[in-house]
């Protein structure tokens, strides 16, 4: 019986492999043989999760045709992968991907690094900061005081606690967007919100337009829901959306959903202008596309001179086009898994009805904690602490990167939690692989794209500062030297960093 659970077509694998562009070899640099380069490319795709484990690879002849190489080259690459434990084969069943014994299974998103690994590894994979104390403790204490009346109920609130729904509605109204509690559903984080929206509006095979690049975990969520992703390139630099491209995609592809991050976009940090927001809403309305606006970063402006545009939903007064997602996870703490959806009442009713077959509701204690923060002014004070920390980390990381890797290119965003970096012509996938061997963990650019885009990029979050940011840049520079020389970095052990 075959042990593969999915199949990778020759054309699809060729696209992913062709996206892996290395820096041109300099004088004295020896390029690996063609079969070795092919084996390394497939191995990287498996390690990054872009080719799943237990995926059947195309036959040697098919892949050779798609890559315009000899069958002998493919056969030698497959044999090398088998020898290394990344490929298994059986006569009559073909060859499928694997990972060697003792290797962790690759994650397809941006999973947090296990706490036990933090002593030797600087984790730049997860864009999340520690909790802004004492506000987490105070919020939980306040929630415990409010808990007794709810403890006498069944505890299931599919739409969310009425008090929190009303508070979130008031906060939108205070921003100039009149909102009723009936327009709010509380969810288990922003991921839970977007998952519910995708299942309501986008069945398997439906097109979803996404910014290119976009948030890796959301892209993977949509892929696993069976969506057909349609990438729309961002405008140059930090200038937001390319509205002409959006109009063309909405007109030609007619996607059922479009997912955007208008405020300090993840990963680029771009801030979409007010006129861009108005035009995108108008284009989505004309195309009959549901526009999902992710506001999880909206309160994380870091520079005092930032002028925040009105929310995307401000340009959809009838609520027929825009569905907004918010969350406490980025602005407050990732461990506070409270998100929400703002939409037309009929949309909220449909989402709530569908929830009976999902998670039934969001934990009551955490909802009470967020409600305490909102109602006491603790939220504003906690978020201000978060801004100060993120700003200091950003500035330290930018300084360190410019010192250690001056040829790498990036623009400094005015908010958010991430720096989108062009890695000096190097492969982001190889930097990510070698980086873990020298003690720094970074996600490569292709995780934020569709079909292998952004191979020359890495994303760096503002999660470390001071001497730790300097050490992270030093380790990245060491990884870059290994990649540039064509090595694997396997002989370099991670160093333990002591702050």
- Least confidently predicted of 30-44, 223-237, 413-427, 484-498: 484-498
What is the dihedral sign for C-alpha 355, 356, 359, 364? positive
Contacts (Cβ under 8 Å, ≥6 apart) of 116: none
Mean pLDDT over 466-484 rounds to: 95
Mean pLDDT over 351-380 rounds to 92
Q: Residue 303 above 80 pLDDT?
A: yes
**Percent of the chain's residues with pLDDT above 70:** 90
Q: Which two tokens stand for residue 199?
A: 């299942």
Q: How confident is the model at residue 7 (pLDDT cuts 50, 70, 90)?
A: confident
Residue 494 confidence (pLDDT) above 60: no
Confidence of residue 102 (pLDDT cuts 50, 70, 90): low
- CB burial of residue 272 (10 Å; 0-12, 13-18, 19+): buried
Q: What is the pLDDT of residues 340-362, one digit of tens each?
A: 999 999 999 999 998 877 788 89
Q: Is the peptide bond before 436 cis (omega within 30 degrees of 0)?
A: no
- Sequence-distant (6+) residues with CB within 8 A of 407 are 424
115-164 residue pLDDT tens: 665 567 899 988 889 999 999 999 999 999 999 999 999 888 999 999 99
The residue ranges of DSSP E strands in 1-86, in sequence order, are: 6-7, 55-56
For residue 210, give every residue at least 6 positions away whose Cβ sits within 8 Å of its Cβ, in sequence order, or none: 218, 219, 222, 229, 230, 231, 232, 258, 259, 450
| Cα–Cα distance for residue pair 39/415, rounded to 1 Å | 40
CB atoms within 10 A of CB 137: 11
Angle at 287 between CA 285 and CA 293, to 5 degrees: 55
pLDDT at 364 over 90: yes
Q: Do residues 278 and 313 touch, judged by C-beta distance below 8 A?
A: no
CA distance 113 to 117: 7
For the chain, how long is the longest CA-to-CA vector?
75
SS3 452: coil
DSSP strand E in 223-285: where?
228-233, 257-260
- Peptide bond connecting 134 to the previous residue in cis, omega within 30 degrees of 0: yes
CB atoms within 10 A of CB 33: 13
Which is more confident, 110 or 400? 400
Radius of gyration of the chain from its Cα atoms, rounded to whole angstroms: 24
pLDDT of residue 492: 40
pLDDT at 37 over 70: yes
In DSSP terms, which residues pair with 327 in a beta bridge? 339
Instruction: Find residue 419's DSSP bridge partners.
Output: 460
The pTM score is 0.83
Which range among 295-299, 312-316, 373-377, 449-453 shows the weakest confidence by mean pLDDT?
Answer: 449-453
Token look-up 């007109």 returns 251
Q: Which residues pair with 291 in a beta bridge?
A: 258, 322
pLDDT tens, 218-271? 999 998 888 999 999 898 889 999 999 999 999 999 999 999 999 999 999 999
- Mean local confidence (pLDDT), 49-71: 88
Rounded Cα gap, residues 344 and 322, in angstroms: 9
Structure confidence at residue 136 (pLDDT): 97
Please give the torsion angle defined by the CA atoms of residues 273, 275, 280 and 285, in that order, rounded to the nearest 10 degrees. Answer: 140
Least confident of 112-116, 168-172, 291-295: 112-116
H or E stretch at 248: helix 243-253
* Predicted local confidence at residue 83, as pLDDT: 92
- Report pLDDT for 116: 60
- SS3 for 364? helix
Strand partners, 341: 185, 325
Compute the average pLDDT of residues 467-486: 94
Task: Please write the tens of the pLDDT for every residue from 412-443.
Answer: 999 999 999 999 989 888 899 899 889 999 99
Instruction: Tell me what the mean pLDDT of segment 55-74 comes to.
Output: 93
The more confident residue out of 248 and 30 is 248
Find the mean pLDDT for residues 270-274: 96
Cα 83 to Cα 45, 62, 80, 100, 313: the distances in Å are 17, 22, 5, 10, 55
The rounded mean pLDDT for the chain is 88
DSSP state of 416: S
Q: What is the pLDDT of residue 117?
A: 58
């Amino acid at each position: 019986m075959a042990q593969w659970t999915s199949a990778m077509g020759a054309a699809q694998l060729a696209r992913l492999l062709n996206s892996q562009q290395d820096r041109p070899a300099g004088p004295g640099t020896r390029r690996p043989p063609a079969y070795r380069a092919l084996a390394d490319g497939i191995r990287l795709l498996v390690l990054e999760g872009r080719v799943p484990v237990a995926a059947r690879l195309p036959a040697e002849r098919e892949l050779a045709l798609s890559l315009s190489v000899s069958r002998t080259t493919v056969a030698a690459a497959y044999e090398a992968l088998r020898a290394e434990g990344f490929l298994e084969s059986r006569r009559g069943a073909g060859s499928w991907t694997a990972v060697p014994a003792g290797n962790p299974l690759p994650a397809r998103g941006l999973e947090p690094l296990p706490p036990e690994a933090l002593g030797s590894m600087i984790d730049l994979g997860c864009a999340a900061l520690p909790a802004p104390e004492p506000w987490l403790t105070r919020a939980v204490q306040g929630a415990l005081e409010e808990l007794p009346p709810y403890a006498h109920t069944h505890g299931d609130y599919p739409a969310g606690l009425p008090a929190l729904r009303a508070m979130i509605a008031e906060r939108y109204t205070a921003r100039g967007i009149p909102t009723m509690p009936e327009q709010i559903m509380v969810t288990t984080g922003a991921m839970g919100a977007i998952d519910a929206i995708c299942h309501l509006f986008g069945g398997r095979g439906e097109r979803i337009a996404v910014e290119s690049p976009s948030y890796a975990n959301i892209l993977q969520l949509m892929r696993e829901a069976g969506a057909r992703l349609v990438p729309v390139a961002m405008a140059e630099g930090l200038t937001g959306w390319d509205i002409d491209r959006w109009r063309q995609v909405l007109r030609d592809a007619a996607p059922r959903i479009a997912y955007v991050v208008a405020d300090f976009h993840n990963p680029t940090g771009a801030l979409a202008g007010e006129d861009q927001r108005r035009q995108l809403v108008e284009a989505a309305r004309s195309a009959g596309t549901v526009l999902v606006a992710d506001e999880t970063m909206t309160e994380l402006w870091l520079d005092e001179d930032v002028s925040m545009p009105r929310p995307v939903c401000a340009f959809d007064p009838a609520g027929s086009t825009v569905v907004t997602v918010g969350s406490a996870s980025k602005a407050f703490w990732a461990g506070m898994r409270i998100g929400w959806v703002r939409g037309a009442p009929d949309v909220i009713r449909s989402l709530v009805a569908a929830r009976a077959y999902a998670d039934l509701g969001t934990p009551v204690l955490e909802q009470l904690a967020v409600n305490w923060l909102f109602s006491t002014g603790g939220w504003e004070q906690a978020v201000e602490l978060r801004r100060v920390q993120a700003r200091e980390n950003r500035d330290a990381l930018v300084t360190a990167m410019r010192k250690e890797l001056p040829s790498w290119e990036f623009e400094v965003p005015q908010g958010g939690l991430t720096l989108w970096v062009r890695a000096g012509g190097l492969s982001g996938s190889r930097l990510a692989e070698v980086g873990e061997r020298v003690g720094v963990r970074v996600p490569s650019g292709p995780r934020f794209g569709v079909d292998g885009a952004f191979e020359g990029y890495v994303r760096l979050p503002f999660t470390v500062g001071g001497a730790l940011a300097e050490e992270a840049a030093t380790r990245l520079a060491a990884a870059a030297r290994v990649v540039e020389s064509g090595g694997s970095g396997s002989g370099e052990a991670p160093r333990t960093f002591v702050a």
